[in-house]
Amino acid sequence: MSVSLDVLRELLVEAGVAADVAEAIRPDAPLLRQGVDSLNFSAFCLAVEHRIGLSLNERDALTLRTLNDFVGYLGAARNDTPPADPVGRIVRNWREVEAGRSFAVGPLRPGDGQGVAQLFYAIYGDRYPVEDYYIPERIESLNAQGHLLTVVARLETGAVAGQGAYYQSSPPNKALFEFGQVMVDPAYRNTTMAARIVREMERLSRLMPQAEGFFGEAVCTHLVTQKLVDRHGYAECGLEAALMPSGAYEKEGAGSLRVSCLLAARVDRDRPMKMHLPECYRRELAYILEGFSLNRDISFDGRQEPTIRESSLERRLFDFAQVERVQAVGIGADFPERAAVLDREAAQRGLAVLQVFVNVGDPGAALAVEALRERGFFLGGLIPLWFGTDGLLMQKVYVAPEFEAINLYSSRAKTLLEFIRDDYDRIGK
């Protein structure tokens, strides 16, 4: 099943969007920021369902912001529905990864999807929180649509023994790609495979015109990924405390509680913009910004009055990880009340972590940070280009973070941990 951008523009007009607006829509930018209001968007989703004969999953629909998102989603949904037992299908089609074979590293090819899905299962069992990576057709479709760029280490037998990827994930800015998923079969971990995969990813990243920058979340159970990323121009910019359940990494020697992740980013295509930062984090944020060469007009604001009445929030729940991520795209006067609701609902649902990414391009950013601090949130970091503008991560953990189990490679990362741990200690006083 596939659908073209031209068809989607026709459906926008059918949903009530003016023809000239629909024709001018950029496929890589959010529809709601290009003259499509929320009523038009809902009508558009219904029109897509009617034309394609496919019912959009409610949770998936929350992630569909751009026309490219719709193209990728509908392409991945070909053959109607995903297999009822994707893990069972991986096992039934299992291809042996033989030790000691020669290998070549390069972009994913048709037919490699099974090997990549097999790697995810071999490393994570059935506990990786995104189902797409257990479905070979979706892996290949996402690559074909440009939402995912997978690099594989392919043995002479054709089996996939390692992989890494750039992919569109949580950032509202779909030109900011996540770097990660570097995995190597145990039989090849004492080889140069991981380094060669990362080197090829580095080369290909310079050829991605759709990318403004990259970020990564390196697990802190070991130093391997941190060392690889450190060599390719990324600057550490935050730490996500207790982000993932240890069960997702039990085959990799995770601790008894939850796994924290180190944030690092690289900006390839910058532009001048305003940055509103809270005075309470002047020292910490100035330190993070030293790692980048950004063209920013920076002001450290007090509790500035927001310019809008109602906040614009986008929410995504990761059930297995017990994590909710909230994107505070616009900060309104109602933000303190909205923050209270988010906090209360997270506690009621038994979440482990609630993350709020604050748009520091918005003049109300300092007010949002203060409201979150009052509810027990602490600093997570600052990620360039997260919204197109930059994003400041505030986080609240409803479990005790295992700070002593965090392994960090660079002195910069260790300094960030000190800042973040000090801020976490503040909320307990």
Domain residue extents for the chain: 5-76, 82-211, 273-427
CATH, range 82-211: 3.40.630.30
3-state DSSP call for residue 103? strand
Q: Which pLDDT belongs to residue 20? A: 87
In degrees rounded to 5, what are phi and psi of residue 64? Answer: -90, 100
How far apart CA 63 and CA 318 sit, in angstroms, is: 12
Q: What is the pLDDT of residue 426?
A: 93
Query: Following DSSP, what letter does each residue of 178-223 receive, concatenated?
Result: EEEEEEE-GGGTTSSHHHHHHHHHHHHHTT-TT-SEEEEEEETT-S
Cα 129 to Cα 15, 245, 323: the distances in Å are: 33, 10, 11
107: its two tokens: 């972009």
Residue, of 250 and 173, whose pLDDT is higher? 173
Residue 156 has pLDDT above 70, yes or no: yes
Identify the pLDDT of residue 256: 56
Among 256, 261, 269, CA closest to 242: 261
For domain 273-427, say whether CATH 3.40.630.30 is its number: yes
Does residue 293 surpass a pLDDT of 90?
Answer: yes
Q: What is the dihedral of CA 277, 278, 281, 283, to 10 degrees?
A: 50
pLDDT confidence bin for 343, thresholds 50/70/90: very high
pLDDT score recorded for residue 70: 84
Residue 393 to residue 358: CA distance in whole angstroms: 6
Provide the token pair at 308. 């809008």
303-316 tens-digit pLDDT: 677 889 999 999 99
45-79: pLDDT as tens digits: 888 877 766 667 655 666 788 888 888 777 666 54
Which stretch of DSSP H or E encloses residue 395? strand 391-397
SS3 readout for 364-388: CHHHHHHHHHHCCCEEEEEECCCCC
Mean of all residue pLDDT scores within the chain: 89
Longest dimension (CA), the chain: 63
Our CA dihedral for 14, 15, 21, 27, rounded to 10 degrees, sits at -100
Residue pLDDT, tens place only, 166-202: 999 999 999 999 999 999 999 999 999 999 999 999 9
DSSP 308: B
Q: Which of 382, 336, 337, 332 is nearest to 360 (CA)?
A: 382
Of 125-129, 275-279, 329-333, 379-383, minimum mean pLDDT range: 125-129
Domain 5-76 superfamily per CATH: ACP-like (1.10.1200.10)
Provide the whole-model pTM: 0.78
Please report, for residues 39, 49, 166, the alpha-carbon distance to residue 44 in angstroms, rounded to integers and kept in the order given: 8, 9, 29
| Fold: same for 5-76 and 82-211 | no
Residues in a beta bridge with 128: none
The arithmetic mean of pLDDT across residues 131-151, rounded, is 90
pLDDT at 383: 98
pLDDT value at residue 1: 41
